Amino acid sequence: MSFKVAVLENDSSSLTDTVTPGLTSLGFDAEGFGTANELYRRMLAKSFDAIVVDIAVPDENGFEVAHYLRAHSRLAIVAVGKSRLSEADKMKVQADAWLTKPIDIDVLGAVLSDLHKRKLSGGLARTTAKRWRVDPTDWKLYAPDGRNITLSLSERLVMQRLLVAPGEVVARDELITVLTDSAYDFDPHRLEMLVHRLRRKVSNTLLLSLPLRTVRGIGYTMLTSAGDSAHL
């Protein structure tokens, strides 16, 4: 059965010309809506597995839509907004993933595919889930159970960026610019080795699987809930 996706998008031309047909071409059962009221009416007749919600929808604040759906459904939620939104604003949405506009259909498709797998395995984040986090006052990465490991400067910079919003796919190039001012002179394999060593450090020290996932050909995403990691 196909993964049913509702798209609540502020830009009508993007909705009809790009997002919905793009997702359909990738194999999703996608249906677009221009207002929250249209979405809610449709949900009375059809159930969806996930929603892509533009935070700037016209008739109802997108934050409120996301909060309502999180509280009253088990939909996977992908929030979409401007990159200038603060980390605090992003965290208010409690989405399973966050993407910035303009929407890249291949990236959105990769995120939805991952959410589909997680939903099938029962691994989607819930509002009560404890999360992986980097404390701004120290150099430690905290697991959902409160245990922690000490990070190097490079590991801390990368993890801070990945944990800005849950499930956001961050391009390799962006992570490289976090690490250096001379991106052209930076060997991309150094980033791959950093990620590999960090996963191994978490595994050896905490006996946990770090939910830091590679999105092939794009970059990395860090899932943050307790349900996204597992004891080894």
pTM of the model: 0.57
pLDDT at 48: 92
Q: Where are the domains of the chain?
A: 4-120, 133-228
Rounded CA-CA distance 161/175 in Å is 8
pLDDT at 135: 74
Q: Which residues of the chain have pLDDT under 50?
A: 125-129, 226-227, 231
Q: What is the CATH architecture assignment of 133-228?
A: Orthogonal Bundle (1.10)
Q: Compute and round to an integer the Cα radius of gyration of the chain.
A: 18
Fold designation for 4-120: Rossmann fold (3.40.50)
pLDDT at 183: 67
Same fold for the pair 4-120 and 133-228: no
Helices then strands, counting H and E runs in the chain, come out as 9, 11
pLDDT at 4: 93
pLDDT at 44: 81
SS3 assignment, position 72: helix
What order of strands is seen across the sheet that includes strand 169-171?
169-171, 219-222, 212-215
pLDDT at 210: 92
